Structure 1
Amino acid sequence: MSGTGDHSLARGLTPGEGVPFDDRGLAYGDGLFETVLVRDGVPQLWERHLGRLARVAAALGFPLPERETLEALPARAGEGLAVLKLVLTRGSGGRGYLAPEAPEPRLRWQVLPFSPDPARWWQGVAVRHCRLRLAVQPALAGLKHLNRLENVLARGEWRDPEVAEGLLCDAEGRLVEATCMNVFWWSDGGWQTPRLEGCGVAGTLREALLARGGIREVTAGPEVLDRVEALCLGNSVQGLWPVTRLDDTEGRPLARWTPTERHRTLQAEAHGLLGYPLQPDD
Structure 2
Amino acid sequence: MREQASWPLDDRGAAYGDGLFETILLRDGRPLLWDEHLARLARGCHVLGIPMPAEHDLALPLAEAGSGLEVLKLTLTRGSGGRGYRPPATPEPRLRWQLASFTPAESRWRKGVRIRHCRLRLACQPVLAGIKHLNRLENVLARAEWDDDAIAEGVLSDDSGRLIEATAMNLYWLRAGRLETPSLARCGVAGTLREALISRGEIQEVEAGEEALVQADAVWLGNSVQGVWPVVRLDDVMGRALRRWTLGRQHRSFQAEAHGLLGYDYPSTY
Indicate whether the TM-score tops 0.5.
yes
Structure 1 unaligned residues grouped into runs of 5+? 6-15
Q: In the alignment, is the contact (CA less than 8 A) between 1:77 and 1:112 conserved in 2?
A: no
Which one of the candidate residues 22, 39, 53 is aligned to 2:41?
53
Counterpart in the other structure of 1:65: 53
Give me the whole-angstrom Cα distance separating, in 1, the residues matched to 2:62 and 2:234: 36
Deviation at 1:110, TM superposition (A): 0.2
Give 1:270's aligned residue: 258
Q: How far, CA to CA, are the matches of 1:28 and 1:125 in structure 2?
A: 34
Q: 1:212: which partner in 2?
A: 200
The percent of aligned pairs where both chains have the same amino acid is 61
Q: Which residue of 2 aligns with 1:117?
A: 105
Q: 5 Å matches for 1:1-282? A: 2-5=1-4, 16=5, 18-279=6-267, 281=269
Q: What is the rounded CA distance, in whole Å, between the counterparts of 1:107 and 1:242 in structure 2?
A: 35
TM-superposed CA distance for 1:74, in Å, is: 2.3
The one-letter code matched in structure 2 to 1:4 is E
SS at the partner of 2:44? helix
Question: For residue 175 of structure 1, what is the amino acid of its counterpart?
Answer: L
Secondary structure class of the residue paired with 2:127: helix
User: Is the contact made by 2:109 and 2:267 (CA closer than 8 Å) also made in structure 1?
Assistant: no
Q: Would you identify which runs of 4 or more consecutive aligned residues in structure 1 move more than 3 Å?
A: none
Q: Distance in 2 between matches of 1:258 and 1:174?
A: 26
Q: What whole-Å deviation, never above 9, does each CA across 1:206-263 have from its counterpart, x for those lacking one? A: 0000001111010001111112100000000000000000000011111000111111
Tell me how far 1:29 sits from its aligned partner. Answer: 0.3
Tell me by how many angstroms 1:72 deviates: 2.1
Over residues 177-224 of structure 1, what are the superposed CA-to-partner deviations in whole Å (9 max), with x where a residue is unaligned? 000000000002111000001000000000000001111010001111
Aligned to 1:217, what secondary structure does the other structure show? strand
Alpha carbons of structure 1 residues 280 and 268: separation in structure 2 relative to 1, 3 Å: closer
TM-score (norm 1): 0.94
One-letter amino acid matched to 1:184: Y
Q: Is the 2:227–2:259 contact (alpha carbons within 8 Å) kept by the matching residues of 1? A: yes
Q: For residue 164 of structure 2, what is the amino acid of its counterpart?
A: V
Whole-Å separation in 2 of the counterparts to 1:63 and 1:162: 42
Aligned residues: 270
Q: CA deviation at 1:75?
A: 3.3
Partner AA of 1:56 in structure 2: G
On the 8 A contact 2:115/2:152 being kept in 1, the answer is: yes
Question: Counterpart amino acid of 2:37?
Answer: H
CA distance in 1 between counterparts of 2:173 and 2:143 reads 22
CA distance, structure 1, for counterparts of residue 176 and residue 246 of structure 2: 19
TM-score by length of structure 2 reads 0.98
Q: CA deviation at 1:281?
A: 3.5
